[in-house]
Amino acid sequence: MSGEKTTKHWAEEIAEEVFKRRSAKKHVVATGITPSGHIHIGNLREIIIADAVRNALLKQGVDAEMIYVGDTYDPLRRRYRFLPEGYEKHIGKPLSEIPDPEGCCKNYAEHFLNPFLESLEELGIKIKLYRADELYKRGAYADAIKTALEQRADIKRIIDEATKRRSPEDWSPFNPICESCGRLTTTKVKGFDADGAFYECECGHGGFASFKGGGKLTWRVDWAARWKILGVTVEPFGKDHAVAGGSYDTGVRISKEIYGYEPPFPIPFEHIILKLGGQLAKMSSSAGVNIPVKEILEVVPPEILKYAILRTKPERHIEFDPSLGLLSIIDEYERRFAADEVPFRQLVLHVHLGRRPHSEEVNLSLVRAAAERSGYAVKDKEAFARKARYAERWLQRFAPESMKFELKAALPPEAKTLTEEQKTALQALASMLKEGMTAEELHDAIYAAAKGAGIKGTDAFRAVYIALLGKPSGPRAGWFLASLDKKFVKRRFLEAAA
């Protein structure tokens, strides 16, 4: 319609604001995570926001790139419940210096970082990756560490003023790594020169830590230093960092007053809250309350997972329900952008019909046959098989019990509970069945059979489900019958009516 106002996506609005408020020849949109555990869909929101804003900037003709910093030099805070007891001895050590708990990667950090990086590739999100341990070891932070130690008193004052808390008198912005025990959470700086810091450790050891890989800056100082080192101009982060006196507040002052760098344009966002069985839970990598990105990408195509996050503005929280909530989002996506050949919800039904009796194994030929009987023309068999596998895994992992059923190979014993009127309705319905009937026609036929038998429609539907599934309810009856072989259904209804 002429004159109709086009609504901009929130990422475009942010990009316009960035362009107005933060001048730069090239915008660097930063994001990252500490890989202390499985990187989950809650962490993914930050990356998808950054990707959307980067793309919106490029769309406006602005040069922009997205960087991802894996905070691999952060310490292990405690032995998380998914770690073996032997990991008590690694508490306080940098993640990059701790062995992989399963022995498949070169260190602890890579064990959790690698699957996530693979997921980003699957999502089509391009990043420039930095590992914090490599940055420190090659000396990228050396000047920032020396500056922080020289201006320790000013940084302490900034943090104390912002947080309204008094830091210990011996507080230091730099945490050396002890050469003896390997920890950086138990050391104290006693002095420094142009190349490193002298320290003492609670383990009793004292030594010298080089500014090139011998330790790391504390979080609030590290973040501000990173902005200048990597030229960050835009950064999304969780709302907990954006509170008054939070790490962004202190970062802004440290960046300006200590490092002389204009802090990045902030994009604070609300968190994704996991909804399982009607219960809400805050996701946490270390606590193990999460769904890893790699796992969710096994049950939903990447474009739909991105849509599930992009549809909500950053300032609003997302309740992520991998069960019926996710199914509704898939429905919404397919209504907006059109389903491939067979809608996802219908594939869930067809996957049931492709299962071998008393087994989770699915025969894709049977699934395709059920879809074609329902009136869908399956032309791209590869795309159909790929989508059917998504539906199969969603059904196994996240579907509620109410959506699960098994087509009985023989007449279920529950058929003995059918009333004479229900049997009459099934007999009448059997006589109406023809190949090629649509779901709507079959739905209407059930009501017609009920009317002829003098019973309510609900009683006729119950009879259909009992005869086929052995229980009084199931999927939408019209679509269900449309996907089944009509000769089989006719035989079953006559057998139930006998």
Per-residue pLDDT of 22-49, as tens digits, reads 888 899 999 999 999 888 888 899 999 9
Q: Cβ–Cβ contacts within 10 Å for residue 111, how many?
A: 21
What are the φ/ψ torsions at residue 384 (nearest 5 degrees)?
-65, -45
**Per-residue pLDDT at 359:** 60
Q: Dihedral of the CA atoms 196, 200, 204, 206 (nearest 10)? A: 30
The helix (run of H) or strand (run of E) holding residue 112 is helix 108-123
- What SS3 class is residue 208? strand
CA pair distance 40, 287, nearest whole angstrom: 12
Whole-number percent of the chain with pLDDT over 70: 96
Residue 2: per-residue pLDDT: 44
CB neighbour class for 145 (10 Å; exposed up to 12, middle 13-18, buried from 19): buried
Per-residue pLDDT of 452-483, as tens digits, reads 999 999 999 999 999 999 999 999 999 999 99
> Helix-strand-coil percent breakdown of the chain, rounded to 5?
50, 15, 35
DSSP letter, residue 76: P
Residue type, 496: A
pLDDT, residue 168, reads 92
pLDDT by residue (tens digit) across 124-155?
Answer: 999 999 999 999 999 999 999 999 999 999 99
Average pLDDT, the chain: 92
Q: What is the pLDDT of residue 3?
A: 47
